[in-house]
């Protein structure tokens, strides 16, 4: 299972763009990169998933370079409600036998 490394914490201000980078040097060919958001005392919530290049949805963008050894979650114009822990997970998302192991996550604090 590919191990991920993220910054422990980040601070930002409302209205700014936030980029959280995740390193996964041992990513395997079949591994996808998935980001989850977790608020205190709640289950994690799916944000975005990608395999290569760039993926964008209504809440975030995910940038993956050609070597796939890292990825960057981009949150445009954050608000106070984006204060949460963000987890980057890497795993075989095509197999029905894979499992996802959570790393430490990045605690994002958005300030007014």
Question: 33 in helix, strand or coil?
Answer: strand
Question: Looking only at residues 25 through 44 of this chain, which bind another protein when binding is defined by CB under 8 A?
Answer: 32, 34, 36, 41-44
Q: Which stretch binds another protein (CB under 8 A): 16-24, 45-53, 63-71, 72-80?
A: 45-53
The candidate with the shortest Cα–Cα distance to 108, out of 67, 60, 69, 55, is 60
Q: Which stretch binds another protein (CB under 8 A): 20-28, 67-75, 76-84, 91-99?
A: 91-99
Number of residues that bind another protein (CB under 8 A): 27
Would you count residue 10 as binding another protein (CB under 8 A)? no
Would you count residue 102 as binding another protein (CB under 8 A)? yes
> Given the DSSP bridges, would you call strands 106-111 and 45-50 parallel, antiparallel or unpaired?
unpaired
Q: What is the rounded CA–CA span in Å between residue 109 and residue 12?
A: 6
The candidate with the shortest Cα–Cα distance to 33, out of 65, 77, 76, is 65
Binding site for another protein (CB under 8 A): 32, 34, 36, 41-46, 49-51, 55, 57, 87, 93-96, 98-105
């Amino acid at each position: 299972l590919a191990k991920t490394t993220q910054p422990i914490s980040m601070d930002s201000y409302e209205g700014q763009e936030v980029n959280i980078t995740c390193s996964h040097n041992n990513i395997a060919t079949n591994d996808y990169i998935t980001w989850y958001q977790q608020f205190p005392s709640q289950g994690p919530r799916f944000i975005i998933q990608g395999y290569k290049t760039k993926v964008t949805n209504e809440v975030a963008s995910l940038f993956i370079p050609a070597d796939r050894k890292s990825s960057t979650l981009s949150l445009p114009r954050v608000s106070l409600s984006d204060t949460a822990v963000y987890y980057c997970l890497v795993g075989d998302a095509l197999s029905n036998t894979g499992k996802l192991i959570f790393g430490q996550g990045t605690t994002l604090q958005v300030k007014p």
